[in-house]
Amino acid sequence: GAGVSQSPSNKVTEKGKDVELRCDPISGHTALYWYRQRLGQGLEFLIYFQGNSAPDKSGLPSDRFSAERTGESVSTLTIQRTQQEDSAVYLCASSLVSGGYEQYFGPGTRLTVT
Amino acid sequence: GDSVTQMEGPVTLSEEAFLTINCTYTATGYPSLFWYVQYPGEGLQLLLKATKADDKGSNKGFEATYRKETTSFHLEKGSVQVSDSAVYFCALLYNNNDMRFGAGTRLTVKP
């Protein structure tokens, strides 16, 4: 079946503009995660959704970052007033449930803020 | 806080060489440990995992053993192939929903 998909694959934006990144998880996966991967660094946890529970936003780096998820489907990560330090690859992953289950990753969105 | 440290790359080996990528962790309690691999142009995918001390995860000729006494989860393969060229990430799951990843180690295998 289809894996996790993300769009766009690449996004170049000017400093100060808002961007929206989209993630389509694997159908039936109740858990969805967003990570940020800066060049040469590991993955940085941003936010986690599990079913209808309140999301875990503890990894969001500032109030310019927000994310929404409709039920157990699509999620969007929004970055307002982008800064150059926001440049990174943003990865989305989904899993059947949380807690030790394999996470399936999308190909990522490469964001470049000029 | 809980964290993972893995050896810095890049690592360059000849085909059929022995591979070790070191990974150590700091955690309270007993996390599950993972190795993920990212092939060029693809997303991360799970390579292997171990959920408790002394467990050995294995897949595609790769192995890693969960060593509680040394807080390590080193990745090994006896004979690497060109197709193993990728970035390898060590990770731990330290609560029900949060994974901590290492910085990644880029492996290049030359024919």
User: How many angstroms from the chain centroid is the CA of residue B106?
Assistant: 11
Residue A41 has pLDDT above 80, yes or no: no
The pLDDT of residue B49: 94
In this predicted structure, the answer to whether residue A15 has a pLDDT above a threshold of 60 is yes
Cβ–Cβ below 8 Å for A99 and B96: yes
The per-residue pLDDT of chain B, averaged, comes to 91
* CA A68 to chain CA mean position, Å: 10
Q: Is the pLDDT of residue A111 over 80?
A: yes
Question: Which of B41, B46, B97 is closest, CB to CB, to A31?
Answer: B97
pLDDT score of A10 more than 60: yes
Phi/psi zone of residue A30: left (φ > 0), alpha (ψ -120 to 50 degrees), beta?
A: alpha
> B96 in contact with A at a CB cutoff of 8 Å?
yes
Q: Which residues contact A54 (CB under 8 A, 6 or more apart)?
A: none
pLDDT band, very low/low/confident/very high, at A76 (cuts 50, 70, 90) = very high
C-alpha distances (whole Å) from B13 to each of A22, B75, B84 are 38, 15, 10
The answer to whether residue A88 scores a pLDDT higher than 90 is yes
Q: Tell me, what's the pLDDT at A33?
A: 92
Q: Can you give the pLDDT at residue A100? A: 61
Nearest CA among B64, B85, B52, B72 for reference residue B6 = B72
How distant, in Å, are the alpha carbons of A23, A110, B73, B86, B89 from that of A7?
A: 7, 10, 34, 23, 23
Give the contacts of A111 (CB within 8 A, at least 6 positions apart).
Answer: A11, A13, A19, A21, A79, A82, A86, A87, A88, A89, A90
Report the pLDDT value the prediction gives residue A99, as an integer from 0 to 100.
60
Contact (Cβ atoms closer than 8 angstroms) between residue A21 and residue A109: yes
Q: What is residue B33's predicted lDDT score, i.e. its pLDDT?
A: 93
Contact A106 B103 (CB under 8 A): no
Mean of the pLDDT values across residues A62-78?
93
CB–CB of A45 and B93 under 8 A?
no
- Give the number of other Cβ atoms within 10 Å of residue A62's Cβ: 11
The tens digit of pLDDT for each residue in B71-108 reads: 999 999 999 999 999 999 999 887 666 778 888 999 99
What pLDDT shows up at residue A23?
Answer: 97
**Mean pLDDT computed over B56-80:** 97
| Per-residue pLDDT at A1 exceeds 70 | no
**Higher pLDDT among residues B5 and A52, named by residue:** B5
Determine the residue among B3, B34, B44 to mutate to test chain A binding: the one whose Cβ has the most chain A Cβ atoms within 10 Å: B44
Residue A98 has pLDDT above 90, yes or no: no
- Position A46 pLDDT exceeds 90: yes
Q: Closest residue of A to B31, CA-based? A: A100
Taking an 8 Å cut-off on Cβ atoms, the answer to whether B43 and A102 are in contact is no
Cβ within 8 Å of residue A52, ≥6 positions away: A71
DSSP-derived letter for residue B82 is: G
Helix (H) or strand (E) holding A31: strand A31-37
* Residue B97, pLDDT score: 66
